[in-house]
């Protein structure tokens, strides 16, 4: 599958709040990284699962993709996330996909 196809499947699982389908798209050693700070949000599938279980418990959680671009192993989305306590949140998410698994996700976020 292409990085775009993986990113699209990730979005479907996210909006369905299907933690198993969502986590199945990540490598066991995947990382979530905040930009521009370069702080690691989560490392490894267990931390990623824990992070998103909290988000998926929000009944109004929804991510809308406004635009996307792809380059090499990266699928890049311009998103708005709704349903979180500090939402809406504007996000650029860059999904690095290698061998059909998300290896790293880089997030640039801005709260409105």
Please report, rounded to a whole number, the percentage of residues in the chain having pLDDT higher than 70: 98
- Report yes or no: 32 and 23 within 8 Å, Cβ to Cβ: no
Report, as an integer, the average pLDDT of 3-12.
97
Q: What does pTM read for this prediction?
A: 0.93
pLDDT average, residue stretch 71-97: 94
> The domain that contains 66 carries what CATH number?
3.10.450.50
Identify the domain containing residue 61 by its residue range: 3-111
Examine the pLDDT at 111 and tell me if it is beyond 80.
no
- How many structural domains does the chain have? 1
Per the prediction, the chain carries an average pLDDT of 95
What pLDDT does 85 receive? 85
d(CA 67, CA 98): 22
The SS3 assignment for 76 reads strand
Element spanning 56, H or E: helix 44-56
pLDDT band at 34 (very low <50, low <70, confident <90, very high): very high
């Amino acid at each position: 599958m292409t990085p775009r196809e993986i990113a699209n499947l990730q979005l479907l699982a996210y909006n369905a709040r299907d933690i198993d389908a969502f986590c199945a798209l990540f490598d066991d050693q995947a990382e979530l990284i905040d930009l521009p700070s370069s702080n690691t949000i989560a490392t490894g599938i267990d931390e990623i699962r824990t992070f998103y279980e909290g988000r998926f418990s929000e009944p109004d959680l929804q991510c809308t993709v406004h635009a996307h671009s792809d380059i090499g192993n990266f699928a890049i989305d311009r998103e708005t996330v709704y349903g979180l306590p500090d939402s809406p949140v504007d996000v650029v998410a860059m999904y690095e996909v290698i061998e059909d698994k998300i290896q790293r996700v880089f997030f640039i976020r801005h709260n409105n």
